[in-house]
């Protein structure tokens, strides 16, 4: 470990985010030293290919030996490689060696968070990952520190820029999913393999991290119900629009105090056009936190990109470095509450359901009977067209997801119902 007159920093990864972090450390050295109380010294930058020059990073700092750099005993190791392995082993080695760790890796924290926190605890060092959720937007520190005296009941928002960009273009230009995705890839918003973004996995990892911090309960990726946007059609978006909604991919984490349970999910959701989340366009992110004493808080900004993400990494780095200078450490996330993580069947949501039906006497009563038998209360019904292919659009009150699924299965068996053509959850704004 270095002297307290400097803080050594080992950087694992020199890509989109890593290169910006290195640039900021080197360009802002004087200010950072004043804020930390000692200069930061970059000891190395691990990459796969050290023959390629990286703008702003001195070539002599590049190394392909990430394992040696991670275990070098630097005061702070910054992990910006991504993915669960080898990043996980590198972070574990750094923590064991007594280095504080800063990471932007949501996949790693959602999957191995418990183990890594335990290692940080044992070594008495910091483990920060503000950049892992919604890039530049401060969310984790507000949950960990600023709201630690309050009771958070719900966290919901848009935490994936790629899908928000795609849904915005589909909504505003009437374009179909495949052509907007191709556009997003050409512009560099979406990866060549966009699966993690469009199937909701990226947002699910972020939701797991948010829920863990908000409800003091360990939530992993396995505890998050996840549906992406690949099956959202231009017709779904047009229909939502007509009814005064936009479709957004929301991450929702809710706490039920009475049962000490949490529900965490990611799915396309109809959001009323006058709700603040409806006006979050393109690749921006926005998150609401609802807390008992604080009320509603909204956080908005850039959820991705090299420089915005590096801003969050630098914030963590300065905090961890200050602690090294002071010989102290900050709080790690607590999971004392240990609430039950509910399966999706037990989540409570409201729906818009659209059915094609026979327009003859008694059909509406039979359909209403199916809802009633399954304990699902109808909030409103609208009929469009007549004859064999009349369309009924039913809005439900909040109901158990399991009861909604049973309702749909029974409706599909009714002779009078040709097809359940649309099924979309609606944002419950009662709590916000």
226, containing H or E segment? strand 225-226
Q: Is 14 in the site for ligand NAP (CB under 6 A)?
A: yes
Region from 7-15, 94-102, 186-194, 254-262 binding ligand NAP, contact rule CB under 6 A: 7-15
CB of 16 to ligand NAP, least distance (A): 4
Q: Decide if 248 is catalytic.
A: no
Comparing CB distances to ligand NAP, the nearer of 54 and 216 is: 54
Residues near 220 by Cβ (< 8 Å), separated by ≥ 6?
Answer: 110, 111, 113, 114, 208
Rounded to the nearest 5 percent, the helix, strand and coil shares of the chain are 40, 25, 35
| Interaction between residue 162 and ligand HSE (CB under 6 A) | yes
List CB contacts of 281: < 8 A, sequence separation 6 or more: 164, 168, 172
| Nearest one of 61, 111, 14 to 313, comparing CA atoms | 14
Q: Applying CB under 6 A, does 81 fall inside the site for ligand NAP?
A: yes
For ligand HSE, give the closer residue by CB, 44 or 303.
Answer: 303
Size of residue set near ligand NAP by CB under 6 A: 23
Sketch the per residue contact string, 16 through 55, with ligand NAP: x for CB under 6 A, - otherwise. xxx---------------------------xxxx------
**Those residues with Cβ within 8 angstroms of residue 28's Cβ, 6 or more apart along the chain or in another chain:** none
Is 212 an interacting residue with respect to ligand HSE (CB under 6 A)? no
With CB cut-offs between 5 and 8 Å by kind, which of ligand NAP, ligand HSE, none does residue 160 bind?
A: ligand HSE
Task: Pick one of ligand NAP, ligand HSE, none as the site partner of residue 424 (Cβ within 5 to 8 A by kind).
Answer: none
Q: Does 417 bind ligand NAP (CB under 6 A)?
A: no
In the list 163, 309, 354, 396, the residue contacting ligand NAP (rule: CB under 6 A) is: 309
Question: Does residue 66 touch ligand NAP according to CB under 6 A?
Answer: yes
Distances (CA, A) of 392 to 234, 250, 411, 428: 19, 26, 12, 22
Instruction: Count the neighbouring beta carbons within 10 Å of the beta carbon of residue 248.
Output: 24
Is 202 among the residues that bind ligand HSE (CB under 6 A)? Answer: yes
Residues with Cβ < 8 Å from 338, sequence gap 6 or more? 217, 218
Instruction: Kindly list the distances between the CA atom of residue 427 and the CA atoms of 39, 53, 129, 307, 423, in Å, as whole numbers in the listed order.
Output: 48, 48, 29, 32, 13
Residue partners of 335: CB distance under 8 A and separation at least 6: 114, 212, 216, 217, 218
From 103-111, 165-173, 328-336, 397-405, give the range in contact with ligand NAP by CB under 6 A: 103-111
Q: Are strands 348-357 and 390-396 parallel, antiparallel or unpaired?
A: antiparallel
Q: Give bridge partners of residue 268 from the DSSP assignment.
A: 249
For position 82 contacting ligand NAP by CB under 6 A, the verdict is yes
Indicate which of ligand HSE, ligand NAP, none lies near residue 171 (CB less than 5 to 8 Å, by partner kind): none
Q: Report the relative pairing of strands 417-426 and 261-272 from DSSP bridges.
A: parallel
The listed partner (ligand NAP, ligand HSE, none) that binds 394, CB under 5 to 8 Å by sort, is: none
Q: Is 20 in the site for ligand HSE (CB under 6 A)?
A: no
Q: How far apart are CA 203 and CA 196, in angstroms?
A: 8
Query: Which member of 106, 206, 248, 324 is catalytic?
Result: 206
Where on the chain is the footprint of ligand NAP (CB under 6 A)? 13-18, 46-49, 66, 80-82, 86, 104-106, 131, 135, 304-305, 309
Residues near ligand HSE, by CB under 6 A = 160-162, 197, 202, 303-304
Q: Active-site residue numbers?
A: 206
């Amino acid at each position: 470990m270095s002297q307290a007159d400097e803080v050594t920093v080992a950087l694992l990864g020199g890509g989109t985010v890593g290169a910006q972090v290195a640039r900021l450390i080197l360009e802002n050295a004087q200010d950072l030293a004043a804020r930390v109380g000692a200069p930061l010294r970059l000891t190395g930058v691990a990459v796969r290919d050290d023959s390629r020059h990286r703008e702003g990073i001195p070539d002599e700092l590049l190394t392909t030996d990430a394992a040696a750099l991670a275990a070098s005993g630097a005061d702070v190791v910054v992990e910006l490689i991504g993915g669960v392995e080898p990043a996980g082993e590198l972070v574990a080695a750094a923590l064991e060696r007594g280095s504080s760790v800063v990471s932007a890796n949501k996949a790693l924290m959602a999957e191995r968070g418990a183990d890594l926190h335990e290692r940080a605890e044992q070594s008495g060092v910091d483990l920060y990952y503000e950049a892992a959720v919604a890039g530049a937007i401060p969310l984790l520190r507000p949950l960990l520190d600023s709201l630690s005296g309050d009771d958070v009941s719900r966290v919901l928002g848009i935490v994936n820029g790629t899908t928000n960009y795609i849904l915005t273009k589909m909504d505003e230009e009437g374009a179909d999913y495949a052509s907007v995705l191709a556009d997003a890839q050409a512009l560099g918003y979406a990866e060549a393999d966009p699966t993690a973004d469009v199937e909701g996995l990226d947002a699910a990892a972020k939701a797991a991290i948010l829920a863990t911090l908000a409800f003091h309960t360990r939530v992993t990726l396995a505890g998050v119900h996840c549906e992406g946007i690949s099956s959202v059609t231009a017709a779904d978006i047009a229909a939502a629009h007509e009814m005064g909604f936009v479709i957004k991919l929301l991450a929702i984490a809710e706490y039920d105090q009475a049962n000490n349970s949490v529900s965490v999910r990611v799915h396309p959701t109809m959001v009323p056009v006058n709700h603040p989340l409806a006006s979050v366009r393109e690749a921006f992110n926005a998150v609401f936190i609802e807390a008992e004493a604080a009320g509603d808080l909204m956080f908005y900004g850039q959820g991705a990109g090299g420089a915005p993400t590096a801003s969050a990494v630098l914030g963590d780095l300065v905090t961890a470095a200050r602690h090294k200078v002071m010989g102290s450490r900050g709080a790690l996330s607590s999971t004392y509450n240990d609430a039950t993580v509910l399966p999706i069947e037990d989540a409570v949501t409201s729906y818009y359901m659209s059915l094609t039906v026979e327009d003859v006497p008694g059909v509406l009563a039979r359909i209403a009977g199916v809802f009633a038998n399954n304990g699902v209360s109808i909030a409103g019904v609208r009929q469009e067209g007549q004859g064999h292919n009349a369309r009924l659009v039913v809005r439900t009150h909040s109901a158990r997801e399991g009861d909604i699924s049973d309702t749909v299965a029974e409706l599909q068996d009714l002779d009078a119902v040709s097809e359940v053509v649309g099924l979309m959850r609606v944002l419950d704004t009662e709590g916000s």
